Structure 1
Amino acid sequence: MFFKNCIRLFSCVCLINVIGCTESEKKSGSLELTIENQLSFDREEVVSIPIEDLDGILKNTSPDNLRIKHADSTSYLPTQWVDIDLDGSPDEFLFMAKIAAKNVNTYILVADSTIAKPESKLTTYSRFVPERTDDYTWENDKIAFRTYGPTGQKEALAGVPGSTLSSGIDLWLKRTSRSVINDWYKGYQTDPMYYHRDKGEGYDPYHVGGSRGVGGIGIYENDSLIVSQNFMHYKTIAEGPLRTVFELSYDPWSPYEVQETKRISLDLGANFSKFEISLKAAKEVPNYTVGLTMHKNEGQSKIDVEDGWVRYWEKIDDAYVGEGIVMPTKEIDSAFTIVSEVPDASQIYIKAKPTEKLVYYAGFAWQKSGQVKTVEDWELILDQKAKSIASPLEVTFK
């Protein structure tokens, strides 16, 4: 019997012959689950299972002993536990699922410490970077981002040359699947231009300045955007092969005294960071608005409110970059562009309805990474992301 949209655990041990169970699995206890993709394109996504839905199979063993594989395979998949509330106990079990269009896959969960824990050659990663003022930087196998912290703000307000006053989101263009953050910042220690030159793995040619970059927020009022300054505090929640999660908090900003905490996560293989922003204002705000810079207005912009995305396609040096924001359509009030001669003021905006929790996805793809060749390729990625948000993979336990 299946109960869709509500994950329920009926069996703790393998009391009958379950398809795909080996003798070792039958002895250790196993659990079968299915994952359904209702959309018309293939999907490869990180699946998260709350630990409370695994209480039965974990009753007599440590969460570290949990393994998972496709029912038709003998190879187990890399996994990750996330302690989302940082209380010392795991909360979510992660694994990567590959599901063909309009298809259902079966997976077997096994509690068995004798099965070697698979390792991933790829990873996600994030960290605070005190050696470059105080950036916070994050990446996966496809993309990388950074934003700016309290020391940068202090120096900028004091007029220190080269400092950054911005809550915008910066991009690092990658064309390697390996982690680059530590190496690029190490090179920066002896050469401040180190990661601004492409040595074959990518570089940082992207300009944020006073703009929103890709996914910074503000309040749109009287034909202008009110924004916060740099983040003041950070909290790294998870690093791992499948997902990195962290939080950034800001001093109260705007006449509305908005208290803002960004929870940002990035999954392996994804072109988008997920932004879950907690917002509490002393006065009622008119909106929250997410921005996407158009730099010098030399690229192509497009707004698709019906499908829930905006994008910009621009040439940076000798290759094109597609940038975009995807937001659930029910949250969108309007979207529009502002073209200005003022530096960093030309942007695409998605205006969201006032809320205490704003959720959206912001990301990009670089032509030289091999992920996109044309703007149509980028629009396909945006369209599929929007559809995937609206139709999550359905997980059902037997």
Structure 2
Amino acid sequence: MNQIHLKYCAAIVTLLLVSCGSEKKPLEIEVVNSLDVDRSFETVEVDLDLLKSSETLKLVSGKSYQINEVGSDVELVSQLSDNDGDGTADVLLFQPEIAANSSKLFNISLKDSEAQTDEIPTCYSRFVPERTDDYAWENDRVAFRTYGPVAQKMIEDSIPGGTLSSGMDAWLKRVDYPIINKWYKKELETDGSYHEDDGEGLDNFHVGTSRGVGGIAVKVDTTYRFSKNFTEYKTIETGPLRTSFWITYAPWKAGDKNVVEKKFISLDKGSNLTKFRVEVEGSDTLSVGLTLHEKDGEVTTKVEEGWVSYWEPYFGSDLGTGIVAPSNTLLGYDKYVTDAKDLSNLYAQLKVDDGVVVYYTGFGWKKSKQFNTKVEWNNYLKQFAEKINAPLEVRVK
């Protein structure tokens, strides 16, 4: 039995015999949903080593893969993806729609590669040197950014325009098309500003030295310590279904601990939560934070279910933020309130397992019409947790 990873969690793949004959038959897979909820926008990852085991599905120059539901000639959107950042594709992604307690069959076959276009993909990320040295990423529902070493040095040298923060910024978009490049151009090359909402949303989310949406910290006695800005980055991929990248940080002190961290971050189509896989040395727990801003919001914590939530009034609308962790990794939470500027955060305390922490974090903005109430936002987090702990099962025949 081989293991094929799904978005949100590793799915168990049952392998039967794969025909290696010369007949050019597609590979048939079955995707099984064992939950009592409909499933969509969950990214199935099919291991390319499995496809290469079939003589008829070996990927060669000028060819790609296509996926169709059995009995249909409609091609589903798919993407070759590099999971480990080594420059070589490892998996084939697609997003099936599977009703509650049911399954569907799909065929995978070779096709001629289509010409590349210059269109910005739905799931997009890039380094932004024209705005100091941000790194920004987005999909069709949410957008984020964080800050690099030049922005940090500007603060340290008392140069205006810098940013000193390892927190994660939320860009409150309310359209389903890419806005990162458009908003930066608006801010830097026109009289407009991405701090003003012209119908697409805006950047009015305050991060400062807070954890923003999902920044990490280590608790020392009764306080929290964290890194400065990222020092290096590498874009792994952009595409119709996923963007991913990694960022690293200079070693930092947490009491008598020397902490080293490297974050692998990905965001898939249709998700309000971006995935963090943090490689860490120097601590056996990490605290993942959500800024409390004016401390006038509502906290919801479900440790046994693996999620925490903050719903707050924000500039005339409402905003929900949240953290979801895989089963048995959320150890507890801390609503940390202080008079110190930007340091009040809701922390999820996560267990470090063999030097790695995995969590999902993001937001839902009422003005985007994605979530209208705290109840809707919390139900989304609850179902998200259920899905990562009961992933779609993929059987390859």
* Fold match by TM threshold 0.5: yes
Distance 1:14 1:394 in 2: 26
Partner of 1:48: 45
Q: State the shift of 1:118 in Å.
A: 12
Aligned AA for 2:96? A
Q: State the shift of 1:56 in Å.
A: 2.8
Relative distance call for 1:73 and 1:59 in structure 2 (3 A) is closer
Aligned AA for 1:50? D
Relative distance call for 1:378 and 1:367 in structure 2 (3 A) is same
Relative distance call for 1:316 and 1:62 in structure 2 (3 A) is same
Over the matched positions of the two proteins, sequence identity in percent amounts to 41
Relative distance call for 1:111 and 1:153 in structure 2 (3 A) is same
Q: Can you give the 5+ residue segments of structure 2 that lack an aligned partner in the other structure? A: 4-10
Q: State the shift of 1:55 in Å.
A: 1.6
Structure-to-structure mapping, 1:42-81, within 5 angstroms: 42-44=38-40, 45-57=42-54, 60-62=58-60, 64-81=63-80
Aligned AA for 2:69? H
Does 2:154 align with 1:155?
A: yes
Q: Deviations over 1:91-129 (max 9, x none)?
A: 111111111111111111112339999999961000000
Q: State the shift of 1:156 in Å.
A: 1.2
Aligned AA for 1:41? V
Structure-to-structure mapping, 1:1-398, within 5 angstroms: 5-8=12-15, 10-12=17-19, 28-44=24-40, 45-57=42-54, 60-62=58-60, 64-113=63-112, 123-191=122-190, 194-254=193-253, 255-281=256-282, 285=283, 287-355=285-353, 356-398=355-397
Distance 1:156 1:193 in 2: 25
TM (norm. structure 1) is 0.90
Distance 2:396 2:374 in 1: 40
Distance 1:161 1:192 in 2: 20
Q: State the shift of 1:159 in Å.
A: 1.9
TM (norm. structure 2) is 0.90
Q: Deviations over 1:199-242 (max 9, x none)?
A: 11111110000100010001011111100000000000011110
- 3-state SS of 1:257 partner: strand
Partner of 1:18: none
Distance 1:291 1:306 in 2: 18
Q: Can you give the 5+ residue segments of structure 1 that lack an aligned partner in the other structure? A: 16-26
Distance 1:161 1:298 in 2: 31
Aligned AA for 1:341? D
Distance 2:242 2:26 in 1: 25
Relative distance call for 1:102 and 1:271 in structure 2 (3 A) is same
Q: State the shift of 1:39 in Å.
A: 1.1
Count of matched residue pairs: 384
Distance 1:219 1:237 in 2: 28
Which stretch has the larger CA shift, 61-70 or 112-121?
112-121
Relative distance call for 1:114 and 1:318 in structure 2 (3 A) is closer
Aligned AA for 2:133? D
